[in-house]
Amino acid sequence: MALMMPKPEEEILANRDLLIERLRKILPADNVIDDEVSRRAYECDALTMYRQLPLVVVLPETVPQVSAVMALANEMNVKVVPRGAGTSLSGGSLPLGDGILLGLSKFNKVLEIDYPNRCASLQPGVTNLAITKAVEHKGFYYAPDPSSQIACSIGGNVGENSGGVHCLKYGLTTNNLLGLEIVLIDGEIVQLGGKHLDSEAYDLMGLMTGSEGLLGIVTEVTVRILQKPQTVRGLLFGFPTLDDGGNCVADIIAAGIIPGGLEMMDNMAIVAADDFQPCGYPRDVESLLICELDGTDSEVDHLIARVSEIAKQNNASVIRVAETEEERLQFWAGRKNAFPAVGAIGPDYLCMDGTIPRKELSRVLAGMRELSDKHGLRVANVFHAGDGNLHPLILYDASIDGDIERAEAFGADILRLCVDVGGVLTGEHGVGVEKRDLMHTMFSEADLEQQQRVKCAFDPNHRLNPGKVFPTLHRCAELGKMHVHKGKVPFPELPRF
């Protein structure tokens, strides 16, 4: 791969033995992994095309241990890469050859569930789905539901600001957090938020969320839990064109209706899903819309009629309303299998994650078809239609020479297209290493410099997860220089009041 990571620092490599010896004084012997075979298990996350053996892997079990590891790394000037469950799709926890890989898998306990205050405190290694599992017997759940929810950890969700299919109505991770405990680069432990709402000063919890492990190590998370809606009903619509489907989505929202979920698939994804496991999807439509309405019984009945009418007005050729829970789950079955289904016709696929203003959907899909011809690769589309988050799946064959590079170039073109129409590079997978070198398509140098100055406030020596998110690393001293010289800029002539 052409990916350039920061050059390993000779001094760190030379001190490896001493570092391991000192780590063993902080942690139980088994929790410091230095042999090559065991380290191999950590060489990549879910973005498997990039691999790197870490310098050493540590698996702390307590917050004081995390703090001590960070203090030691800071003292010895060693880099640290945090890792939750290793399910990042953007290479957020890709190891560094001269960095400690700090795994949080042993932090797997639910610490407290406080039903009256509707919150739960968790260690960062608890999986996303385990939160809902822990509270569902009382009728509660945790709203963000990334498709990797069975495996991904809440600490990783904080790092990537993970979403899922219910974001339009219930928000992303950042909208569902109350508190964080973080360990800073020098080992200092800081509490942000708690069980109350809003911050007493700057919203550092909001800043930490989605910071991809570059600012601190998350050691405890307090999330809001919500009461389950009384009723959840599913509707499935088929449309003769993609535009009809897109217009239907816009009309539903313009009518003041915010569905719990609103998912769209194109014909290639529909057929792939139905071939993979027959789910009864209409195979002859160009777009399929799954709409989930939740709330109280009376409200949902009322909305089903309104949404069906809107679909009819937008030329829906198929309108189905799930009458049973089994039928609703059947509607979702094909969508949930979409990725493996596309993988089955692939044989390999690259999953992109741009977000676009919804109204640009047909323009972006048309552009994608042109790009598909240009690069000679097929693309299937699944789309979180409610919030504009697009997941094009680029099909390629890794055994064909040059196919991986073609797929990557195709993906980069798609993301540039998303930015061109007013969208962004990543909706929920993170920048990581995957989209790092495309950051300039969205941000100016000044934007990126300001972001890096924020990084300097947390990590002045770029020791925490360097090489991710930012295409170039500037020294903090350089970034701090001011281009205005005292006394040399006169007050300009400006309107005064």
Partner 1 sequence: MEQYAPTSAEDVAELVKAAIANESPLEIGGNHTKQALGRPVEATHALSTRGMRGVHFYEPSELVVSLAPGTTMRELTDLLDQNGQELAFEPIDYRALYGNEALSGTVAGTVAVNASGPRRIKAGAARDHLLGFSAISGRGEAFQSGGRVMKNVTGYDLSKLMTGSYGTLGIYTDLTLKVLPKPEMEETLVIHGLSDQVAIDVMTEASGLPHEVSSFAHLPADVATTMDAPLAGSTLPGAMTALRLEGPEISVTKRKADLREHFANCGGEFDEIEPSRSRNFWHALRDCAPLAKRNVDIWRISTAPTIGAKFTTAIRAAGIEASTYYDWAGGLIWLATEADAVEAVSSIRAALKPFGGHATLIRSSITNRATVDVFQPQPAPLAALTARVKYSFDPERVLNRGRMRKDL
**To the nearest whole angstrom, how small is the minimum distance from the Cβ of residue 394 to partner 1?**
20
Cis peptide upstream of residue 347 (ω within 30 degrees of 0): yes
Q: Which residues pair with 319 in a beta bridge?
A: 237
Residue 292 binds partner 1, judged by CB under 8 A: no
Backbone angles phi, psi at 324, to 5 degrees: -130, 165
Write each residue from 224 to 253 as x if it is in contact with partner 1 (CB under 8 A), else as -, in one continuous string.
Answer: ---xxxx-------------------xx-x
Please list every residue from 323 through 352 that binds partner 1, using CB under 8 A. none
Q: Of the two residues 172 and 290, which places its CB atom closer to partner 1 in the complex?
A: 172
**To the nearest whole angstrom, how small is the minimum distance from the Cβ of residue 189 to partner 1?**
8
DSSP 8-state class, residue 281: -
Q: Of the two residues 402 and 495, which places its CB atom closer to partner 1 in the complex?
A: 495
In this chain, which stretch among 3-11, 34-42, 55-63, 222-230 interacts with partner 1, using CB under 8 A? Answer: 222-230
**To the nearest whole angstrom, how small is the minimum distance from the Cβ of residue 203 to partner 1?**
5
> Is the separation of the CB atoms in 63 and 181 below 8 Å?
yes
Q: Of the two residues 35 and 493, which places its CB atom closer to partner 1 in the complex?
A: 493
Q: Of the two residues 87 and 389, which places its CB atom closer to partner 1 in the complex?
A: 389
Beta-strand ranges (E) seen in 217-313 are 217-224, 226-227, 231-239, 261-266, 287-295
Q: Of the two residues 304 and 318, which places its CB atom closer to partner 1 in the complex?
A: 304
Cα dihedral 492/495/496/497 (nearest 10): -170
Q: Which two tokens stand for residue 231?
A: 């009723």
CA-to-CA dists, residue 55 to 22, 314, 400, angstroms: 14, 57, 32
Residue-wise DSSP of 231-244: EEEEEEEEESSHHH
Q: Of the two residues 375 and 455, which places its CB atom closer to partner 1 in the complex?
A: 455
CB neighbour class for 399 (10 Å; exposed up to 12, middle 13-18, buried from 19): exposed
Residue 137 binds partner 1, judged by CB under 8 A: no
Residue 261 binds partner 1, judged by CB under 8 A: no
In this chain, which stretch among 49-57, 141-149, 167-175, 364-372 interacts with partner 1, using CB under 8 A? Answer: 167-175
Please list every residue from 91 through 120 that binds partner 1, using CB under 8 A. 114-119
**To the nearest whole angstrom, how small is the minimum distance from the Cβ of residue 422 to partner 1?**
6
CA-to-CA dists, residue 490 to 221, 315, 483, 493, 496, angstroms: 49, 64, 14, 9, 15
CA–CA distance, 289 with 264 (Å, rounded to integer): 5
**Size, binding site for partner 1 by CB under 8 A:** 113
CB atoms within 10 A of CB 452: 20
CA–CA distance, 398 with 232 (Å, rounded to integer): 41
Q: Of the two residues 119 and 272, which places its CB atom closer to partner 1 in the complex?
A: 119
Write each residue from 421 to 450 as x if it is in contact with partner 1 (CB under 8 A), else as -, in one continuous string.
Answer: -xxxxxxxxxx---x---x--xxx-xxxxx
**To the nearest whole angstrom, how small is the minimum distance from the Cβ of residue 126 to partner 1?**
21
Q: Of the two residues 94 and 192, which places its CB atom closer to partner 1 in the complex?
A: 192
Write each residue from 179 to 208 as x if it is in contact with partner 1 (CB under 8 A), else as -, in one continuous string.
Answer: -----x---xxxxx-xxxxxxxxxxxxxx-
> Is the separation of the CB atoms in 217 and 102 below 8 Å?
yes
Q: Which two tokens stand for residue 197?
A: 């709402």
Q: Of the two residues 127 and 162, which places its CB atom closer to partner 1 in the complex?
A: 162
CA–CA distance, 256 with 236 (Å, rounded to integer): 20
Residue 321 host element (H or E): strand 318-321
**To the nearest whole angstrom, how small is the minimum distance from the Cβ of residue 293 to partner 1?**
12
Give the residue, chosen from 98, 145, 160, 292, that forms a contact with partner 1 under the rule CB under 8 A.
Answer: 160
SS3 at position 407: helix
In this chain, which stretch among 105-113, 233-241, 337-345, 475-483 interacts with partner 1, using CB under 8 A? Answer: 475-483
**To the nearest whole angstrom, how small is the minimum distance from the Cβ of residue 336 to partner 1?**
19
Q: Of the two residues 374 and 453, which places its CB atom closer to partner 1 in the complex?
A: 453
The pairing of beta strand 177-183 with beta strand 217-224: antiparallel
Residue 35 host element (H or E): none
Write each residue from 384 to 403 as x if it is in contact with partner 1 (CB under 8 A), else as -, in one continuous string.
Answer: x--xxx--------------
CA-to-CA dists, residue 44 to 48, 83, 333, 355, angstroms: 6, 10, 29, 26
Q: Which two tokens stand for residue 245?
A: 């489907």
Q: Of the two residues 9 and 449, which places its CB atom closer to partner 1 in the complex?
A: 449
Residue 155 binds partner 1, judged by CB under 8 A: no
In this chain, which stretch among 69-77, 134-142, 236-244, 363-371 interacts with partner 1, using CB under 8 A? Answer: 134-142
Give the residue, chosen from 16, 24, 51, 302, that forms a contact with partner 1 under the rule CB under 8 A.
Answer: 302
Q: Of the two residues 409 and 424, which places its CB atom closer to partner 1 in the complex?
A: 424
CA–CA distance, 454 with 34 (Å, rounded to integer): 33
